[in-house]
Amino acid sequence: MASQTKLKNTARQYQIEERRRQVAIMIAQGMSEVDIAANLGVDNTTISKDVKALKLISQQFIYDITKSDFTYYYKQCLETVKLVLRKQWEIVNKEGKLTKEDIYKTKVLADILQPNPTAAHFGTNERENE
């Protein structure tokens, strides 16, 4: 009896996890909770509970990252930014006029920080503008 109950609980938990995967995908596609409920054939309150559970899982994930490697990677990114800026200033502060090579180096260093500023700031793609 206990084994059968455990099996039912495991199957039920799998169904819930699978539904939550589907809910997460549909939310990412921009569907409303009402539409998701209708699509999956469940009550709206079930989807609301699933969304709440997904948010908690996401929050725990972010919390775990911040406790582990996040600080290290953040520091590495800051060090890279400092290095790139230092190299750019070395090129700009070079005595005499900038050569085409110096300008090219400066642009490459800027691209390291932000590969496509147009796309990032205006939501466009450079290739679309060509």
In a domain, 128, yes or no: no
pLDDT at 128: 42
Note whether 13 and 63 are same-domain residues: yes
Reported as a single tens digit per residue, the pLDDT across 34-64 is 999 999 999 999 999 999 999 999 999 888 8
Measure Cα distances from 70 to 13, 62, 65, 77, 111 in Å.
31, 9, 6, 11, 23
pLDDT at 59: 92
pLDDT at 116: 54
54 vs 100, residue with greater confidence: 54
**Amino acid letter, residue 119:** A
- The yes-or-no verdict on residue 70 having pLDDT over 80 is no
In a domain, 99, yes or no: yes
**How many domains, the chain?**
2
pLDDT at 115: 53
Mean pLDDT of 2-24: 88
Note whether 38 and 80 are same-domain residues: no
Q: Which residue has the tokens 């569907």?
A: 31
Note whether 41 and 80 are same-domain residues: no
In a domain, 43, yes or no: yes
Note whether 41 and 74 are same-domain residues: no
pLDDT at 114: 65
d(CA 130, CA 128) in angstroms, rounded, equals 6
d(CA 118, CA 101) in angstroms, rounded, equals 23
Note whether 13 and 45 are same-domain residues: yes
In a domain, 105, yes or no: yes
The residue segments making up the domain with residue 52 are: 2-67
Note whether 50 and 99 are same-domain residues: no
User: Could you give the maximum distance between any two Cα atoms of the chain, in Å?
Assistant: 87
CB-based contact 10:4 (threshold 8 Å): no
In a domain, 59, yes or no: yes
